[in-house]
A and B are shown apart, each in its own frame.
Chain A
Amino acid sequence: MQNALQIVYLIPLLPLIGFLVNGLGRKHLSKSLVSVIGSGVILASFAMSIWVFMQVKGMATPYVAHYFDFIKVGDLKIPFAFQVDQLSSLFLLIITGVGFLIHVYSTSYMHKEKQEHYGRYFSYLNLFVFSMLLLVMGANYVIMFIGWEGVGLCSYLLIGYWFKNTEYNKAANKAFIMNRIGDLAFLIAIFWIISRVGNVNFNDVFAVARGEVDLRKFTGTDITAITLLLFIGATGKSAQIPLYTWLPDAMAGPTPVSALIHAATMVTAGIYMIARSNVLYSMSSVTMDIVAYVGLATALLAATIALKQNDIKKVLAYSTVSQLGFMFLALGTGAYVAAVFHVMTHAFFKALLFLGSGSVIHAMSGEQDIRNMGGLNTKMKITFVTFLIGCIAIAGIPPFSGFFSKDAILLSAFEKSPVLYGLALFTALLTAFYMFRLLFLTFSGQFRGTADQKQHLHESPAAITIPLIVLAVLSIIGGFVGIPEVFINGGDRIGAFLSPVIKPHGGHTVSHSTEYMLMGLSTALVIIMIIAAWFKFRNYQRTEEKGLGKVLENKWYVDELYDKVIVQPMHQFGGFLKSVIEKSVIDGLVNGVGRAVNYGGRQLRLLQSGQVGSYILLMVLSMVIIFALQFFLRK
């Protein structure tokens, strides 16, 4: 059956229709109708994605659907085309699947909003899914870039969804602007590719990179520059050093948005892009090293910050940054499949955790500070259990999904260098520690909030708990698609599935016994960390942070540093240009010319004495001068 691929355009088109209907009809459609349309289109896309997924399974070459030429200038043709292969179909499933669950969740979470804002929310959410689908389905870098900026826009709109709050709006601006910095690098990479290849289709670019096309070639510098620029683009979208500070601020948006955009899908766009360009990346060891180190540094930095955060969503946000760092570490060590695998499992458990935190916030009437929570496990059983599953999954305890993907990453780091492995393992331990700190502070011990909040505590309705349960199940079983070879021969199903897109690199260099040892080590240490967290935070008492703790609580003062080093100087320089250069120098020069003419006129006026004699004298003198000039300059 070929027709699933022929109507593949429906997958992004349906959410777009949902966006238009909900957006234009937000004042007229009832809330339930908006919910049905908003979630329904995503469900339909999800069904289509499953169908597509079934069909691409055995495909050796990607399916490219060409619709029309977006831009055509001379030799440069940029088609509006979709490419469906194993990698994109996997992302399609994650986006539409998780996306659908979050839409369902939102119908309950946002039900207090006014009708038109409810419609606006769902239209934004649909637009986001549309852009994200465009991003992963694009058959060339430009279509990918369209989706890339599109998701950035939706992120901006949704962070600033409660637009009355100035702080939220500032966070939205920050997200958009930091993304734009990355986008610029992405764009320059595209132009670089165009100047070498002549177009931007993935297939053509990779063919040139592999040396399958005679006429055009990349030099080593080209490859390194292009991959580095693309990576800078990825640091913007996927919140890596130095462009990561927008993501924690982005938690200003509604919690389902944080779950969908700022945890499960959009922020993994950078991973997708690099996995998609794996042919290029594999050719530049410089870039690979940089990617790995930046990823690791980010993972470590974010994990340390997460240790001391008190906002439930901020902890999760820094955890997301840290997990994304892990994925980049995987990419940088050449384990593209492990990165994609971790994207998938991370989408499950991080969406679960965010939605769980949303459920908590909902129950706590908007309270987000975990110091004011505690003892919620008895009041919110489903939320607690699913949250616990999420924490176990992210900590990496077998057989939960996080274990398999994180293990694949750690193993590939170990192959590269034991130092990388050591740092990565340390970060993984920090992860376990702060996640269980979060869990214990929230759910165990005594309730530390106000009496009013206590009165109001309740388990969330089904529209919230069902997505939680589904995601919890996925978090448990999601890892079984990538069981390492040491356990079951042929267990790495995801690697096999992706092999047409990502060439599997040669067998592991690590012996089975070492691999068992590493797994055992990491699992044992993680469990120790969890126990440590249990004893430390079982009965939490509020204390002031000092010393390093305070630095961590203030996120290493990176925001302040950026403000002092970049934002303020730029602002002051702008002011300097406005009030000094523009007013005095440039306009001064322009007006100076006018003034000089005026002054000259005033001075020359004095010659006009009205004395006929002086006029004649001048006339005679000038004539004599002219004659003299004529006489001497003749030669």
Chain B
Amino acid sequence: MPINYYIFLSIALFSIGIVGVLTRRNAIIIFMCVELMLNAVNLMLVAFSKMHYKAALLAGDVNGTAGTDGQLFVFFIMVVAAAEVTVGLAIIVMMYRNIHSVDVNFLNRLKH
């Protein structure tokens, strides 16, 4: 499959994520949209990693490790995302306890 397909899919996912973050007011949905963006990036990384590996193989580098660092990053991002989920959900729970809502527009105290 040509790499373009992956790119388009990734852009689509990322844009959905951005639009979601920008338009929704529910903290959990925003959270999910952020995850969506991260996964779009992950998809991109994996796709490029595969592409580079293939190109190296075709060039005759049988034992090559080209592209593996891209996959490494994917794991990295997954771990970070998991950590983020823990912290983020905890914050959301705290927020719900305090103001009985998960609407981010109530959270404008930062300007003070």
Query: Are A609 and B111 in contact, CB atoms less than 8 angstroms apart?
Result: yes
Query: Are B18 and A611 in contact, CB atoms less than 8 angstroms apart?
Result: no
Chain A residues with Cβ below 8 Å from B18 are: 620
Chain A residues with Cβ below 8 Å from B108 are: 609-611
Chain A residues with Cβ below 8 Å from B111 are: 608-610
Q: Of all chain B residues, which has the CB nearest A620?
A: B18
Query: Are A616 and B21 in contact, CB atoms less than 8 angstroms apart?
Result: yes
Chain A residues with Cβ below 8 Å from B109 are: 610
A-B CB contacts (within 8 Å), total count: 24
Interface residues on chain A, number (Cβ under 8 Å)? 9
Give bound CA distance, A611 to B110, whole Å: 8
A548 at the interface (CB under 8 A from B): no
A569-627 residues at the B interface, CB under 8 angstroms:
608-613, 616-617, 620
How close is A230's CB to chain B, nearest CB, in angstroms? 75
How close is A52's CB to chain B, nearest CB, in angstroms? 92
Chain A residues with Cβ below 8 Å from B104 are: 612-613
What 1/0 flags go to A541-562 for Cβ under 8 Å of B?
Answer: 0000000000000000000000
Chain B residues with Cβ below 8 Å from A609 are: 108, 111
Chain A residues with Cβ below 8 Å from B107 are: 610, 612
B112 at the interface (CB under 8 A from A): yes
Give bound CA distance, A611 to B112, whole Å: 12
Q: Of all chain B residues, which has the CB nearest A623?
A: B18
What 1/0 flags go to A444-479 for Cβ under 8 Å of B?
Answer: 000000000000000000000000000000000000
Query: Are A610 and B22 in contact, CB atoms less than 8 angstroms apart?
Result: no
B56-112 residues at the A interface, CB under 8 angstroms:
104-105, 107-112
Query: Are B110 and A617 in contact, CB atoms less than 8 angstroms apart?
Result: no
Chain B residues with Cβ below 8 Å from A620 are: 18, 22
**Interface of chain A, main secondary structure:** helix
Give bound CA distance, A78 to B37, whole Å: 83
Asked if A617 meets B112 with Cβ closer than 8 Å, knowing A610-B107, A612-B104, A612-B107, the reply is: no
Give bound CA distance, A613 to B107, whole Å: 10
Query: Are A610 and B112 in contact, CB atoms less than 8 angstroms apart?
Result: yes
Give bound CA distance, A613 to B20, whole Å: 11
Q: Which of the residues B22, B105, B110, B112 comes within 8 Å of A616, measured between beta carbons?
A: B22
Give bound CA distance, A611 to B25, whole Å: 10
Give bound CA distance, A379 to B110, whole Å: 104
Give bound CA distance, A609 to B109, whole Å: 9
How close is B25's CB to chain A, nearest CB, in angstroms? 7
Give bound CA distance, A627 to B109, whole Å: 31
Q: Of all chain A residues, which has the CB nearest B112?
A: A610
Query: Are B110 and A610 in contact, CB atoms less than 8 angstroms apart?
Result: yes
Chain B residues with Cβ below 8 Å from A617 are: 22
Q: Of all chain A residues, which has the CB nearest B34?
A: A616
Chain B residues with Cβ below 8 Å from A616 are: 21-22
Q: Of all chain B residues, which has the CB nearest A615?
A: B110
Q: Of all chain B residues, which has the CB nearest A624?
A: B18
How close is A602's CB to chain B, nearest CB, in angstroms? 14
Q: Of all chain A residues, which has the CB nearest B109?
A: A610
Query: Are A613 and B110 in contact, CB atoms less than 8 angstroms apart?
Result: no
Q: Of all chain B residues, which has the CB nearest A617?
A: B22
How close is A601's CB to chain B, nearest CB, in angstroms? 14
B3-22 residues at the A interface, CB under 8 angstroms:
18, 21-22
Chain B residues with Cβ below 8 Å from A613 are: 22, 25, 104-105
A487-543 residues at the B interface, CB under 8 angstroms:
none
Chain B residues with Cβ below 8 Å from A608 are: 110-111
Give bound CA distance, A370 to B89, whole Å: 111
How close is A258's CB to chain B, nearest CB, in angstroms? 81
Question: Could you list which residues of chain B lie within 8 angstroms of chain A, going by C-beta atoms?
Answer: 18, 21-22, 25, 104-105, 107-112
Sort A-B residue pairs by CB-CB distance and give the 10 closest, nearest first. Answer: A610-B108, A610-B111, A610-B110, A612-B104, A608-B111, A611-B108, A616-B21, A617-B22, A609-B111, A620-B18
Provide 18 A-B residue pairs closer than 8 Å at the C-beta atoms, listed in order of the A residue.
A608-B110, A610-B107, A610-B108, A610-B109, A610-B110, A610-B111, A610-B112, A611-B105, A612-B105, A612-B107, A613-B22, A613-B104, A613-B105, A616-B21, A616-B22, A617-B22, A620-B18, A620-B22
Question: Could you list which residues of chain A lie within 8 angstroms of chain B, going by C-beta atoms?
Answer: 608-613, 616-617, 620
Having A610-B109, A616-B22, A620-B22, one finds 17 other A-B pairs with CB under 8 Å, namely: A608-B110, A608-B111, A609-B108, A610-B108, A610-B110, A610-B111, A610-B112, A611-B105, A612-B104, A612-B105, A612-B107, A613-B22, A613-B25, A613-B104, A613-B105, A616-B21, A620-B18
